[in-house]
Chains A and B, each alone.
Chain A
Amino acid sequence: MTTLIDLVNVTDWLNATDWPGATTWLLANAAVAVLLDRPAMVLLIVVLVLLLMAWGMGNYLKKRPEADVNMALVKSFNRRVQAWLIMYLILGATFLAGSSRIPAVILFFGVSFWALREFMTLTPTTSADHRALFWVFFVFTPLQYLLVGFGHRDYELLGLVINPGRIFITWIPIFAFLFIPARIAFAGDHKRYLERTAKIQVGLIICVYALSHAPALLDLEYIAAEGKVWEGGNAGVLFFFIIVVQMSEVFQFVWTRLLGKRIIAPAINSNRTWEGLVGGMLTSTVLGTALFWVTPFNPIQAAAMALILSIMGFAGSMTMSAVKRDRGVEDYGTLVEGHVGVLDRFDSICFAAPIFYHVTRFFFTNAG
């Protein structure tokens, strides 16, 4: 359900003062949706309670004697739970702070920026790439999230009507994609040119472009299964997406521990098995079906979506593992003293986000 906030007084005041037009357009056109409706809030609370319980359990296990528990496993479990707890708390706070998408967009911008930092740090760029990197960090990345923030509505700019929600789809894969190799060519260092260019492009696409589709989910006007406008809050769709992708990783891990025999690619990641993949897919499909009530999907559609998310998430972590092996590191956070990096936490989300965005947009909105 979309409600328009009464901004007449604000816009009148803004028009009276001689402000730059952009602010006025933004406020005049901002349709603020109720993002966190009752089901989404219930889900958020359930997730937080479960995570707190997991956190308590992790702390209990940490104090047990070393012989009883696998300490490395407990540590990695605790780190993961803590990271998720922080993420859901921040995400929840951004939705409770107001019914605006903007805090969530800023949050994901921060994640993208940090993930890009980690990616580029491991990428062997030369000093000739410096200016191109500057563009990547300070022009393309902020503008991408600015476009997502402005969202799917028409703004008037210099007498033209523009729709940032359409531009954000092409901004990086076309404009940035072509700009980067050209800028590097102008810098004049031809050694490993193609490799350097490609690595910067891949980093930008995965860390920024792909991930920016997650907050963009908040901006769609969903059509429910029967062709009616969906009445729910968009935060539910984002929660569904994140929970299914993350839990799918956990399920894959558990199934691998229980049954895992056939490793998919030992040289890439020795923890990923076919049993884990299939088990994870099936279990997360069940989970997705059980969560259909926070989304515009019916149970069968929710199952299909969860299946897609599980596969994409898996593909994401496999791909990022391959990049890590190529660079000869264990984790993206290696430079950050033994910590697992932001990119290690978000690799599967990065991969699943654009696919989920486009599938829902194609089948569950009028935007097509």
Chain B
Amino acid sequence: MRITTATLALLAKLISGATVRWVDCQPDTCQRVYFANHTSHLDVLLIWSSLPADVRQLTRPVAAQDYWESGIIRRFLAKQFNALLIDRREIKVHQSPIDLMIREIGNTDSLIVFPEGGRNTDPEMKEFKSGLYYLSKKRPDLELVPVYIENLNRVLPRGEFLPVPLLSSVKFGPPIWLETKEPKTHFLTRAREAVRSLKDV
């Protein structure tokens, strides 16, 4: 199990040629929510494999159930990454994804989320969905770590299935928290800006 995940992480790094940078932030096993821009299906693999092995074991990517449960390979990968699959089509009030996430991570695990909601093809990032806000409102102790992924949309653009080995990069930025009584839109704009500002670092 461990060898498989280590091999997968190495493979993901080779394909994406990724450089990993921690900007004013250090890898840590404390409970965190990594939130990133989303341009490619490889995003989740790349962030996950960029983390050190001990952090990786405690980190669960949040991913779309319909995508990661179709086909043997994807299902296998999702299992290896210990992905937290969310049913995008049936979001019920009493069974909200946020509650599911909070229940699943307990007091140990961290999450990888993509607040844009879906893969983005524009050069500019989309507005963030409100999930991140509700998540940190219920668990204000979680560190929110912005992550900026560059070039991965060129490695595997939307609609393509064969990756091209261009070089990409992952940047982890300084954590943010939800301020007390901070309005939703203000917080989401601030979070989005935290990711966007890593572009120029």
Q: How far is the CA of A134 from the CA of B156 in the complex (A)?
A: 11
Residues of B with C-beta under 8 A to A130 = 154, 157, 160, 164
Q: How far is the CA of A267 from the CA of B158 in the complex (A)?
A: 38
Residues of A with C-beta under 8 A to B164 = 120, 130, 133-134, 137
How many inter-chain residue pairs (CB < 8 Å) link A and B?
43
Contact yes or no, A125 B17, CB < 8 A: no
Contact yes or no, A137 B165, CB < 8 A: yes
Contact yes or no, A121 B162, CB < 8 A: no
Contact yes or no, A337 B17, CB < 8 A: no
B126 within 8 Å of A by Cβ?
no
* Closest residue of A by beta carbon distance from B153: A127
A45 within 8 Å of B by Cβ?
no
0/1 per residue, A315-337, Cβ < 8 Å to B?
00000000000000000000111
* Closest residue of A by beta carbon distance from B21: A337
B178 to chain A, nearest CB (A): 31
Contact yes or no, B167 A335, CB < 8 A: yes
| Given contact pairs A335-B19, A337-B19, A117 touches B165 in the complex (Cβ within 8 A) | yes
**Cross-chain contact of A335 among B157, B160, B169 (Cβ < 8 A):** B169
A347 within 8 Å of B by Cβ?
no
Residues of B with C-beta under 8 A to A219 = none
Contact yes or no, B157 A336, CB < 8 A: no
B106 to chain A, nearest CB (A): 35
Contact yes or no, A336 B19, CB < 8 A: yes
Q: How far is the CA of A125 from the CA of B169 in the complex (A)?
A: 17
Q: How far is the CA of A137 from the CA of B17 in the complex (A)?
A: 14
A187 to chain B, nearest CB (A): 11
B98 within 8 Å of A by Cβ?
no
A270 to chain B, nearest CB (A): 25
Contact yes or no, A121 B21, CB < 8 A: no
Q: How far is the CA of A114 from the CA of B54 in the complex (A)?
A: 30
B64 within 8 Å of A by Cβ?
no
Residues of B with C-beta under 8 A to A121 = 17, 151, 154, 166-167
A118 within 8 Å of B by Cβ?
yes
0/1 per residue, B16-38, Cβ < 8 Å to A?
01010100000000000000000
Residues of B with C-beta under 8 A to A113 = 165
Q: How far is the CA of A233 from the CA of B12 in the complex (A)?
A: 41
A238 to chain B, nearest CB (A): 27
A85 to chain B, nearest CB (A): 23
Query: 8 Å CB contacts to A: which residues of B146-174?
Result: 150-151, 153-154, 157-160, 162, 164-169
Contact yes or no, B166 A120, CB < 8 A: yes
0/1 per residue, A95-121, Cβ < 8 Å to B?
000000000000000000100011011
Q: How far is the CA of A335 from the CA of B171 in the complex (A)?
A: 11
Contact yes or no, B157 A127, CB < 8 A: yes
A98 to chain B, nearest CB (A): 27
Contact yes or no, B154 A125, CB < 8 A: yes
The interface centre, meaning the residue of B19, B121, B157, B167 with most chain A CB atoms within 10 A of its CB, is: B167
A204 to chain B, nearest CB (A): 13
A269 to chain B, nearest CB (A): 23
Q: How far is the CA of A133 from the CA of B160 in the complex (A)?
A: 12
A331 to chain B, nearest CB (A): 13
Contact yes or no, A118 B160, CB < 8 A: no
Q: How far is the CA of A134 from the CA of B155 in the complex (A)?
A: 10
* Closest residue of B by beta carbon distance from A341: B167
Contact yes or no, B19 A127, CB < 8 A: no
Residues of A with C-beta under 8 A to B165 = 113, 117, 137
A248 to chain B, nearest CB (A): 29
Residues of A with C-beta under 8 A to B159 = 127
The interface centre, meaning the residue of B17, B19, B166, B168 with most chain A CB atoms within 10 A of its CB, is: B166
0/1 per residue, A117-154, Cβ < 8 Å to B?
11011000101001101100100000000000000000
Contact yes or no, B17 A117, CB < 8 A: yes
Which 9 A-B residue pairings sit nearest by Cβ, starting from the closest? A127-B157, A121-B167, A133-B164, A121-B166, A337-B19, A335-B167, A336-B19, A130-B160, A134-B164
| Residues in B lying within 8 Å of A, measured CB to CB | 17, 19, 21, 121, 150-151, 153-154, 157-160, 162, 164-169
For the A-B complex with A125-B154, A134-B164 known, give 11 more contacts whose Cβ atoms are closer than 8 Å: A117-B165, A120-B166, A121-B17, A127-B153, A130-B157, A131-B160, A133-B164, A137-B164, A335-B150, A335-B167, A337-B19
| Residues in A lying within 8 Å of B, measured CB to CB | 113, 117-118, 120-121, 125, 127, 130-131, 133-134, 137, 335-337
